């Protein structure tokens, strides 16, 4: 093994990372997208646990199945609050909108489930 090859194989992760620093903005964007997809997946799990199809849920909400599919694929940030509220309420849940200011939290609105 040559000295160059040996040096490459013993470089630490921090050394490699220092040579090619990640694009922090891109990392943050990917993290936000992953978090949105994880939240949307949890909503889909609840729908599936109740045995409701996307089409049935869309009919309850007076929307289209592709709209439900997009929401469950992670388009939560692009969905309006009314759409998210309708989705949650159609499954018997409630929505609470909270403003956070450091440690202070203010509940701006809360919903009660409507009959489906």
pLDDT band at 102 (very low <50, low <70, confident <90, very high): very high
Question: How many domains does the chain contain in total?
Answer: 1
Give the domain CATH number at 27.
Answer: 1.10.260.40
- 1-54 per-position pLDDT tens digit: 555 555 556 788 888 778 887 788 988 888 888 888 898 999 999 999 999 999
- Residue-wise pLDDT for 42-89, tens only, equals 999 999 999 999 999 999 999 999 999 989 988 877 788 888 899 999
Q: For the packed helices 54-61 and 65-72, what is the interaxial angle rounded to 10 degrees?
A: 110
Q: What is the largest CA-CA distance in the chain?
A: 73
CA distances (Å), origin 102, targets 36, 68, 99, 105, 106: 22, 33, 10, 8, 11
Domain membership of residue 17 (yes or no) is no
- Is there a domain that residue 89 lies in? yes
CB atoms within 10 A of CB 85: 19
By percentage, how much of the chain surpasses pLDDT 90?
42
For residue 44, what is the enclosing H or E element?
A: helix 24-49
pLDDT at 4: 54
- Give domain status of residue 14, yes or no: no
């Amino acid at each position: 093994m040559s000295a160059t090859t040996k040096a490459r194989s013993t470089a630490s992760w921090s050394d490699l990372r220092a040579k090619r620093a990640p694009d922090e903005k891109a990392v943050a964007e990917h993290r936000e997208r992953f978090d949105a997809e994880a939240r949307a997946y949890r909503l889909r799990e609840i729908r599936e646990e109740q045995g409701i199809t996307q089409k049935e849920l869309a009919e309850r909400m007076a929307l289209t199945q592709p709209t439900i599919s997009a929401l469950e694929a992670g388009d939560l940030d692009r969905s309006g609050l009314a759409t998210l509220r309708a989705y949650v309420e159609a499954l018997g849940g409630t929505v609470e909108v909270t403003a956070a200011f450091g440690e202070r939290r203010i509940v701006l609105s809360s919903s009660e489930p409507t009959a489906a």
